[in-house]
A = this chain, B = another copy of it.
Amino acid sequence: MSVATVSRALNGSASVTAQTRRRIAGVAARLRYVPHATARSLVTRRTHTIGALLPDLFGEFFSELIRGIDLAARARGLQLLVSSSHGDAAEAATALRAMQGRVDGLLVMSPHVDTRFLREHLVPALPTVLMNTSVEKGYASLNVDNYGGAQAMTRHLLELGHRDIAFITGPADNFDAAERLKGFRDAMAAPARARQLQGDFSEESGYRAGRQLAAMRDRPQAVFAANDMMAVGCLYALIEAGVRVPDDIALAGFDDIPIARYINPPLTTVRVRIADLGQGALEHLVARMETADLPSQRRTLACEVVPRASSGTRTAPPVPSSIHHRPKSRSHRSPGEKQ
């Protein structure tokens, strides 16, 4: 048997006698032969691997994101090379270079990425999909609809009758934060009164905002925090000050982190289907990998308002009777747990 025949037999493709094929398969199994992926890649110019460049790996968000990516990748027989924790643009560039030639496509999410950075460090031949970045054009991207989500939540609060709403902002230079603020502003109609408190996405900044709110003489009727962690901090400040939620003031957040439904009162928030974001981004990427010169497309992932008790909605009763009706969460498990 020549190597050529073996190659053909193992790849199943070409014309090989059933007998030969069986014989080769038998020998291969007996020898525990596994084709050398690297050598194969060298000649086929495909690695069957996609790279994911992430800013970080902290917390539920990235866990869900990777899960979505991995799920979609596995379904297509693709391997996943992850790289994260790059604190600055230089590190991101290094990570990018290291992936060069190892991957068939790239998923990029990073606060350090802008158009110039990409032009400089990305070879144009490598299919790439950006996730949640502010890069304007020329690149394919998939973004969370921060704007739409914030708008929807604001409308939800307005519909509940609140007219005077405060918004706790995220960090000034943050893309998501900016979009959420814009959504809030644009949804606030003429008769309503919008205010802003500065935050930075941290729980502590939410706590500070909550203290400010509690101290106000003309307190707003509702407060909408740009993310859940600030909402949590704010809630504690309000409780501490004896301001009741939602009776004295309604509260809403953004992200639907797991603890959102566990705090008391459960937090009204905007749910982002993060796994879908990863999955969608990967599928988008695969499409670009298969069809060269696909026009770069910008897509957006919808999010949804999840009304809970903190906004005063009269939907489900609070904890505990509701806990068994919420979507089954596998989020917090011990390591080895099986299905």
Q: Report A155-171 residues with CB < 8 Å from chain B CB.
A: 170-171
A237 to B262, CA, bound (A): 14
Contact between A57 and B38, CB atoms less than 8 A apart: no
Query: Among B102, B262, B324, B337, which residue has its beta carbon within 8 angstroms of that of A232?
Result: B262
Within 8 A of B (CB), among A249-287: 254-255, 257-259, 262-264
**Segment at the B interface, from A79-87, A291-299, A304-312:** A79-87
A111 touches B338 (CB 8 A): yes
In the complex the two chains form, is B335's CB within 8 Å of A61's CB?
A: yes
Contact between chains at A319 and B236 (CB < 8 Å)? yes
Whether the pair B174, A338 counts as a contact (CB closer than 8 A) is: yes
Binary contact readout A61-96 vs B (1 if CB under 8 angstroms, 0 otherwise): 111011100110010000111111101000000000
Docked Cα-Cα span, A34 to B123, in Å, equals 10
| 22 CB < 8 A contacts A-B | A32-B123, A36-B101, A38-B47, A60-B60, A61-B332, A61-B334, A61-B335, A62-B63, A63-B63, A70-B85, A79-B83, A79-B98, A170-B337, A176-B337, A177-B336, A201-B333, A227-B333, A236-B323, A240-B321, A255-B334, A259-B259, A262-B262
Mark out the residues of chain A between 105 and 160 whose CB falls within 8 Å of any chain B CB in the assembled complex.
109, 111, 123, 132, 144
A67:B58 contact, CB within 8 angstroms: yes
Q: In the complex, which of the residues B47, B71, B337 contacts A171, with contact meaning CB atoms closer than 8 Å?
A: B337
13 further contact pairs, Cβ within 8 A, besides A34-B101, A70-B84, A173-B338 = A34-B97, A57-B67, A58-B67, A60-B331, A67-B84, A74-B83, A87-B339, A132-B335, A132-B336, A177-B336, A229-B333, A255-B332, A258-B332
Interface residues of A toward B: which range? 35 or more
B contact residues around A20 at 8 Å (CB): none
A49 CA / B101 CA spacing, docked (Å): 13
Residues of A with Cβ closer than 8 Å to B? Answer: 32, 34-39, 41-42, 47, 49, 55, 57-63, 65-67, 70-71, 74, 79-85, 87, 97-102, 109, 111, 123, 132, 144, 170-171, 173-177, 201, 203-204, 207, 226-229, 232-233, 236-237, 239-240, 254-255, 257-259, 262-264, 319-321, 323-324, 329-339
C-alpha gap A324/B71 in the complex (Å): 37
Kindly list chain B residues whose C-beta atoms are within 8 Å of the C-beta of A62.
63
